Structure 1
């Protein structure tokens, strides 16, 4: 008897919850440090009813969305300039590789010094982290387009920008979407740290308050929400892949 794919996908999370439950049950006096799934669920329901969790999620979503849009836009633009023009590659590629070696989290002190402790440094740190995966994968996608298509474009007398729109962009789209998946994951990771910069709202602020009062159950709720939002972001990109790359055989499977 074949198990439906939807049930198979639930087996992994169910196993993790089971391990968590067993670990919490055997914690004994340390149960406050490692609350069980039932305690975390009860706390999550309480935070939902009070409105704290929805408000925190909305604030965090706004930050990560703004940062990802800025970072992805910058990455795509730089990749197009560098991938389509040799002079663009000469001017852009090396500086981008130098800058991407600088970890976003190490830039937190400078971001505070330059931009203060408001929303701007949080958004800019997310944009910084999300720019480079999109650039690298989009650039690789542009350069991996089969050169025979150039001859096809010339034989059809297509203009340069028409060829870019009809040939280069579709060929680079798989790489761009892979970069977007990496960028969304990095966006949530950087958000966790950036929201520790004197945030007055968001999941990070909720975790900071919970740490001060040793509310590990609230901290677990926030961590689970971060993980769930990251998973939903990844699923969103997977849906985009199925829609935008339906012309590729591997994305036509049910």
Structure 2
């Protein structure tokens, strides 16, 4: 009697269940690879549309000069020494105000975030300050500090410290309490707890506040440099307004925009390096 043996078949997993397919499916939910120089694509497109509209005669040259006209004006202002002086003055004002605001925001956030007494003394006052329009404090600061450079730097510092404080304080308050319990079980000292738990946990919120503070320093500078100033980009734009020089005004605006973009990109770069251990959508 002859017996036939049926060959044993090894079950093959379905194509949709293989690890490679699962990885592709998971990867499809993410934004994808970062595009090279993606930060300048939007500004470059805007500049191209501006140039095309100017070349086609769709824009009034008296109201919105062509990009090449603005570049030519910037070259004239640079060669006669006006623009370098104004740029240097604006950078000094923004730098001093930003440094003071950064220091105040970090110190106050740490005091309020790590101590109940500090929170009771500081947080309510900062929230009240946040509710008051900062530019509305200009007349009062002029009476207190005079009409010179001091009140300008003080206003910039206030504009900078508020977002830094708010975001850093929120990050400190949002640290999971289980990490605190773990630090207590491990017997960490107060300094070790701050260095190993608090600082890494609060850094993402700190960098968000830092980016907002950098932007705020440039926004407030535009207004402050039009009050009893004899130099600076804001003063240059104010004088150009009196003489109807729209090309000079656009030069100032473009420089402010470049400063804001470069400073924000610098903060992003530092953030990416410092927080390289995180796996996020942006990375």
**TM-score, normalization by structure 2:** 0.83
Contact 1:242 1:251 in 2 (8 A): no
Q: Which of residues 100, 106, 110 in structure 2 aligns to 1:80?
A: 110
Deviation of residue 194 (structure 1)? Answer: 0.6
Deviation of residue 158 (structure 1)? Answer: 1.1
**174-183 or 243-252, larger mean C-alpha shift:** 243-252
Q: Which of residues 13, 18, 38 in structure 1 aligns to 2:48?
A: 18
Deviation of residue 72 (structure 1)? Answer: 1.4
Q: 1:174: which partner in 2?
A: 204
Q: 1:117: which partner in 2?
A: 147
Deviation track 1:76-134 (CA, whole Å, cap 9, x = no partner) reads: 11111111111111121111111111111111222222222111011001001111100
1:185 aligns with 2:215: yes
Q: Which of residues 124, 130, 136 in structure 1 aligns to 2:166?
A: 136
Deviation track 1:40-79 (CA, whole Å, cap 9, x = no partner) reads: 0111111222222122111111111110111111111111
**TM-score, normalization by structure 1:** 0.92
1:146 aligns with 2:179: no
> In the aligned structure 2, how far is the partner of 1:11 from the partner of 1:173?
29
Deviation track 1:189-214 (CA, whole Å, cap 9, x = no partner) reads: 00000111111111111112212221
1:49 aligns with 2:79: yes
1:97 aligns with 2:116: no
> In the aligned structure 2, how far is the partner of 1:22 from the partner of 1:101?
43
> In the aligned structure 2, how far is the partner of 1:121 from the partner of 1:225?
23
Structure 2: give runs of 5+ residues left out of the alignment. Answer: 1-32
Task: Point out the structure with the larger helix share.
Answer: 1
Deviation track 1:147-201 (CA, whole Å, cap 9, x = no partner) reads: 1211221222111122112210111111011001011111100000011111111
> In the aligned structure 1, how far is the partner of 2:108 from the partner of 2:190?
18
C-alpha change, 1:10 and 1:161, in structure 2 (3 Å) is closer
> In the aligned structure 1, how far is the partner of 2:120 from the partner of 2:39?
45
1:210 aligns with 2:240: yes
Q: Which of residues 25, 29, 33 in structure 1 aligns to 2:63?
A: 33
Which residues of 2 match residues 186-201 of structure 1 at below 5 A?
186-201=216-231
Structure 1: give runs of 5+ residues left out of the alignment. Answer: none
Q: Which of residues 223, 236, 244 in structure 1 aligns to 2:266?
A: 236
Deviation of residue 14 (structure 1)? Answer: 2.5
> In the aligned structure 2, how far is the partner of 1:153 from the partner of 1:4?
37
Deviation of residue 10 (structure 1)? Answer: 3.8
Q: 2:137: which partner in 1?
A: 107
Cα RMSD, aligned residues only: 2.1
> In the aligned structure 2, how far is the partner of 1:88 from the partner of 1:115?
28
> In the aligned structure 1, how far is the partner of 2:270 from the partner of 2:74?
30
> In the aligned structure 2, how far is the partner of 1:82 from the partner of 1:242?
27
Contact 1:27 1:34 in 2 (8 A): no
